[in-house]
A and B are shown apart, each in its own frame.
Chain A
C-alpha cells in the first residue's frame, strides 16, 4: 500500500518570503499522480497543484511550484511571495494511475503560518 509522509507539522513564513513544504511517499508503481491540496480554516479541500509522475518537468501554478524527485520519491511544494491568504493546512496526496477506485492517499498535513 502507498504511504505519504509530511515530516513538518508546522511551518512559519514571513509575508512575501518563500516557504518549502516537504513530502515523501512510498510506492512500487511507476505511473501515478501527486497533488498538493490546501485546506483553509473553512476546511474545504482546494487543489493547489498536480504532477504526473511520467513528466520530468516540475509543475508550476503562479506562486506555487513543486520539486518532483521521482527516484527519491520526494514531492516538495514551494510557495513564493507568501501572502496572508496562504495560511492553511497543506496536504500532499498520491493517486495510483491504475487503481480502479482512483482513491487519494493523503499525508498528515503541514500547517503554514504567514506572519505579516
Chain B
C-alpha cells in the first residue's frame, strides 16, 4: 500500500541552526501538508501546498519556515534558525484532491532543539 515517507525519524539540532525535514508524498497525490505536534498537545496545521505554491498557512508558519518541492517526489520543510520551542513532532501529509479524499500522514519526524 502506498505511504507517505518522512526522513529522518529523529533530528537533533542546536538552537539557531537550520534544519530541513524531508517527505516523499504518495506519488499521485497533488496536495501536500505539514503539521506540528508539540509533546502532549494537539496537532496543529502549518501549511498546505498545491501546484508548486502555498495555498494556506497558519500563523505559526512565519518567516523562519519555508516549504519546497524541489523535484517531482520530495516535499521539504525548512526551519531557518531553530528555536527551543520548535521542538515537536512534524508530520507530512498528502491527499489526492481537495475534495472528499482524506489526507494520509507520514510517520513523523521528531525534532529536538537543544
Q: Which A residues are closer than 8 A to B by beta carbons?
A: 33, 35, 37, 42-47, 50, 52, 91, 93, 99-109
Contact = CB atoms under 8 A, between A and B. Distances in A.
Contacts of B33: 102-104
Name B's interface SS. Answer: strand
A105 B56 CA distance: 13
A41 to B, nearest CB: 12
A44 B102 CA distance: 15
17 contacts: A43-B110, A44-B106, A45-B105, A47-B102, A47-B103, A50-B100, A52-B100, A91-B43, A100-B55, A102-B55, A103-B33, A104-B43, A104-B45, A105-B45, A106-B43, A107-B42, A109-B42
B65 interface: no
Contacts, number: 65
Contacts of B82: none
Given A91-B43, A99-B56, A102-B31, A42 B103 contact: no
Contacts of A108: 41-42
Given A33-B100, A50-B102, A102 B108 contact: no
B102 A45 contact: no
Contacts of A105: 45
Contact of B107 (A44, A91, A93, A106): A44
B107 A42 contact: yes
A1 B108 CA distance: 26
Given A33-B100, A35-B102, A104-B103, A45 B56 contact: no
A54 B3 CA distance: 29
A107 B35 CA distance: 14
Nearest to B91: A45
B107 A101 contact: no
Interface string B36-53: 010001111100101000
